[in-house]
A and B are shown apart, each in its own frame.
Chain A
Amino acid sequence: MTRAGTLTWFAQHETRLVWRDWVWLLSGGRRRRGYTVALGLLVFFGFMHVVVYLTLLRTPVAFPPDKPLLVALGGTLLLYWSLMLSQAMEAVTRAFYARGDLELILSSSASAERLFAVRTVAMSLSVAGMSLALAAPAINVLAWLHGARWLAAYGVVSGMAMAAVAIALMLTIALFRLIGPKQTRLVAQIVAAVMGASFVIGVQIVAILTIGTMSRIVLFQSEKILSLAPNPGSLWWLPVDAVMGNPLALTVVLGCGAILLAGAVRFCAPRFGELAVAAGSVIASRHAVSQRGPRFRPKSAGQALRGKEWALLLRDPWLMSQSLMQLLYLLPPFFLLSRSFYGQGHGAGLVVPVAIMAAGQLAGGLAWLAISGEDAPDLIASAPVSTYRVWLAKAQAVAAGIGVVFGPLVGLLAIVDPVDAGTAAIGIIIASASATAIQFWFRAQVKRSLFRRRHVSSRIATFAEALCSITWASAGALATNDFRFAIVPGVMAIAFLIGAWMLSPKRVC
């Protein structure tokens, strides 16, 4: 038996916890459901292989790689790495701030440094695992079509994950030192989200400003970018060489990742206990508010419920940032719109689907907070207010939030193209209503602090919400050309809604 408190003992403990967490994520506590979800994931994985195969079958892959291929692969790696860094920042913040068993371990005589080392390695594995789950179909198909050397990409992704976790750790510690534990939590979460989106958004904005389109692929293959990129053989392309099976490049990438991670652990582990305690004291500390007295003076039950929803959201910067972060993706269409505004393009129509999609997603999040994330369900249920009035007030709270966020966008669009603005407004209303309805049908009773894990409580609701948003966005995009074209995706979206209602645990209309 492993001696308690050793690295191996902690590793076993963590592995058990991670494994059970995964099983729960898949099964939701029901074994049969776990098998079904696992089978579904396998089928999906297989399907993705077929899709990637069909896409790559006719795509020429030069070896040794030419400049366009290097730029395309390098861009993809950068995109992946920005996502990894974002994920790593999230994981590191959780490691410091989530209490869980931390207080038990910190109050014991066991070494917190060892626990930290094990958790850091687990973070790297998790970051690498998530990225590989996305990249594996492409890697496998490339290896099948163009040789086993492409399997080296697995090693590159692992090296990149180690580097991402190391940098995330150092960045979080730096934030602790610079702005203190109180602000670090929020800032780190925002940095994580911005990092995740920055590359995609940055590339899109560059594409809009230089070639007037949002397409990353077109930008990567554009003359401008190709002329600016380093020539083949440059050290800048080392990670790309590693992906394509160059053993020396692969060793360098893996080695750099491992050295960075080991260095970060060595530097951060002795400080872990102290920082975790500091983070804990922030959680326990009181948050004073203005001495002017409350601004929250409801005159009716509906007003009380709406006001409460807005007050709770506005006062929780973390929830606010999580809810609004997806709106970062609206930045590129805004740039496109501004170009159209100054007569430098005709991309206003592109804003319509993006806005509809974003509205659907934002409404889904807000509706979850208002409906499922109700922290005092007993109080609301025991109040002399009809269920209908409660739901209506909550739906109004969501609608107002959507109005505040998307109103200005639609207004700006109306100046450029009133018809597109009308289409966007209708689409935003329908997509938001659909997402709210889905959250209402699949409502659960959970703490609003579990917002990030809301997708786990019902995968059907998550898929239905995403599918509805996508199909309504497609309908909006097609409607900008001809309203008749929107009929097919519109009917599909309604079908998804009906399907979600039929599958919902509480059929209510």
Chain B
Amino acid sequence: MANGLHGATMTQHSSLLALEIRGLSKKFDRPAVDELDLTVRAGEFFTLLGPNGAGKTTTLRMVTGLLKPDRGSIKVFGIDVSADAIGAKQIMAWLSDEPMIYERLTPLEYLYFVAGLWGVDNKTAETRARDLIAWLGLAPYAQEHCEGLSKGMRQKVALAGALVHEPRLIILDEPFTGLDAASARLVKNVLRERVAGGCSVIMTTHILEVAERMADRIGVMSAGRLVAEGTLQELQRQAGAGHASLEDTFLALVSADTARSSIAA
């Protein structure tokens, strides 16, 4: 089980790639993800940036098994997602921007439910759930139905759900949407601590400052492809001289790609 593996195996497999995507494609009415290659190292905080409709969420939904790719392969810690979806899911957690929680369960019950789905034993689940509830400042609401919770509280409950089975790879889609400053800081701290503990995090965000401060490496997607990836410095080099901030760099990279696509078209 992932819970048991976490820690010891992390050190053993630290040279492994947390995520390896090769030639990934997905088409709806038009191509959403187009021959994407992407790698994320174990223990890395990777941020995926891109304009609306760039294919970030589609990519991450395919990684978590929520969407079936048309082509390409996805491996999570060496496990092929299409060949062993259950095995891959066991070590992953997915958190979307719109927290999907059950209105009539309490936060504690929600965590027990998620722990049950991931096969975490009762005793461990109880300890972890109570720790997470306290850590995320949810203790006063632990016995209330989630329907009365604010957006930020719900997001925290969902985050706790993503952490209760101690995943090796956490995938977050716009986790800071609707969070107040204090909650956002708390979530950032939680993620930092997880990464420090050896966990890998992949996150999409439109808040470039968050990406700039938190990410080890940043990937920039545009029109379903990865147009640049690397550390902030590497991205700045790729974008050319004169781009001091990530915002400038991002805009330069995306507009350059848009221009290239227009010329190619």
Contacts and interface: CB of A to CB of B under 8 A. Distances in A.
A64 interface: no
Given A311-B105, A315-B145, A296 B117 contact: no
Contacts of B103: 312, 375
A30 interface: no
Given A381-B65, A384-B118, A287 B105 contact: no
Given A378-B66, A382-B89, A384-B87, A297 B145 contact: no
9 contacts: A289-B145, A290-B143, A294-B108, A307-B113, A312-B105, A375-B102, A382-B65, A385-B86, A386-B86
Max count, chain B CB within 10 A of own CB: residue among A308, A312, A377, A380? A308
Nearest to A390: B117
Nearest to A313: B104
Contacts of B86: 384-386
B141 to A, nearest CB: 8
B64 A286 contact: no
Nearest to B61: A378
Contacts of B87: 384
A304 interface: yes
B108 A376 contact: no
Contacts of A316: 104
A289 B106 contact: yes
B101 interface: yes
Interface string B100-143: 11111110110011111111001000000000000000000101
Contacts, number: 110
Classify the secondary structure of A's interface with B: loop
A377 B67 CA distance: 12
A381 B94 CA distance: 10
Given A378-B66, A382-B65, A304 B100 contact: no
A375 B92 CA distance: 20
Interface string B57-77: 000000011100000000000
B161 A379 contact: yes
B240 to A, nearest CB: 39
Band of interface residues on B: 35 or more
B143 A304 contact: no
Contact of A376 (B65, B102, B115, B149): B102
B231 interface: no
Contacts of A298: 112-113, 115-116
B77 to A, nearest CB: 13
Interface residues of A, number: 37
A315 B148 CA distance: 14
Contacts of A287: 144-145, 147-148
A388 to B, nearest CB: 11
Closest 4 CB pairs of A and B: A304-B116, A286-B148, A298-B116, A376-B100
B144 A286 contact: yes
A377 B106 CA distance: 18
B90 interface: yes
B155 interface: no
B47 interface: no
Contacts of A291: 143
A109 interface: no
A301 B117 contact: yes
A55 to B, nearest CB: 47
A82 B104 CA distance: 33
B145 to A, nearest CB: 4
Contact of B100 (A285, A303, A312, A378): A378
Nearest to B64: A382
A383 interface: yes
Nearest to A294: B109
B236 interface: no
Interface in A273-326: 284-291, 293-294, 296-301, 303-305, 307-308, 311-312, 315-316
B113 A289 contact: no
Given A294-B106, A294-B109, A296-B109, A379 B100 contact: yes
A286 B145 contact: yes
B96 interface: yes
B65 A312 contact: no
Contacts of B93: 382
Contacts of A297: 112, 122
Interface in B13-71: 64-66
Contact of B122 (A299, A308, A311, A378): A299
Contacts of B64: 378, 381-382
Nearest to B114: A379
Given A291-B143, A301-B119, A383 B100 contact: no
A382 B67 CA distance: 10
Nearest to A303: B116
Given A286-B148, A287-B145, A375-B102, A384 B94 contact: no
Contacts of A288: 143-145
A269 B239 CA distance: 63
A294 B94 CA distance: 25
B127 to A, nearest CB: 13
B105 A308 contact: yes
A380 B94 CA distance: 11
A296 B144 contact: no
A379 to B, nearest CB: 6
Nearest to A380: B117
Considering residues B104, B122, B143, B145, which has the most beta carbons from chain A within 10 angstroms of its beta carbon? B104
A291 B144 CA distance: 9
Contacts of B149: 286
Contacts of A293: 108, 143
B169 to A, nearest CB: 11
Contacts of A385: 86, 117
Nearest to A298: B116
Given A296-B105, A304-B113, A378 B143 contact: no
Contacts of A307: 113, 116
A194 B143 CA distance: 33
B82 to A, nearest CB: 14
A300 B116 contact: yes
Contacts of A381: 64-66
Contacts of A384: 86-87, 89-90, 117-119
A308 B102 contact: yes
A377 B89 CA distance: 15
